[in-house]
Amino acid sequence: MWAGCDPGGKDRFGVATVDGSGNTRCATVSSVDQAASWINASGTTIGLGIDAPMWWSACAGGGRKADARLRRAYGIASGTVQSVNSLQGAVLVGGLLLASQMRVTVPGVPITEAHPKALLLALGLDGASFARRFGIRQAWSDDHQRDAAIAAVCAREGFSRNWTVDLATDRHELEQDPHSYWLAPVFYFWPESIP
């Protein structure tokens, strides 16, 4: 199964799984440990999508090239695709901690960053139309669960080679390299090329 998560704080950490038939399960938990336990209890994870920045930048303001490209290509506001320096701790720390914990319990599990809200804007979809387009069951009860389910689809599409664009390959010199840093490899699959 493909897993996804939308890191957040207490009662705001969305988790989801999508199986090969599009069956979708979602839940909301309160911590990295609860998220990892829920995912691991759901079955064998063959790929994980995380809605959080999975590498950081030492550039002024913490801006990453991938984020700037998404904002420019789709006219997305900076409040939707934010610089790492402007995000809250639950997102930043939760994403990296979950990736680290999942690599312990599922060694070598493939991980991709995901940005569900930006993806919906880029594709001109809402949650229901996304579910139909990508053949999953709409099983979420809030935006955190929806974003986790979309992150799971990002993992499925990327690691199944349906999406071949990896936004993590084009970075500023002062950005970490998610293909070779301490948590490597981490990808950022996207459905289409962007300038």
pLDDT digits (tens, 9 = 90+) for 131-154: 999 999 999 999 999 999 999 999
Q: What is the pTM of this model?
A: 0.94
Q: What is the mean pLDDT of residues 54-59?
A: 90
What b-and-e string marks burial along 74-88, b requiring 16 or more CB atoms within 10 Å of the CB? bebeeeebbbbeeee
Distance CA 57, CA 159 (A): 25
Q: What is the mean pLDDT of residues 97-105?
A: 96
What per-residue confidence (pLDDT) applies to 83? 58
Q: Which residue has the higher pLDDT, 79 or 2?
A: 2
**pLDDT for 112 beyond 60:** yes
**pLDDT for 86 beyond 60:** no
> What are the tokens at 174?
């002062």
Distance CA 112, CA 168 (A): 9
Length of the chain: 195
Helix (H, G, I), strand (E, B), or coil: what is residue 175? strand
Confidence band of 111 (pLDDT split at 50, 70, 90):
very high
**pLDDT for 9 beyond 70:** yes
Q: In what order do the strands lie in the sheet with 111-113?
A: 24-29, 13-18, 2-6, 47-50, 111-113, 186-187
Give residue limits of the domains in the chain. Answer: 2-55+89-190
| pLDDT above 90 as % of the chain | 86
Confidence band of 76 (pLDDT split at 50, 70, 90):
confident
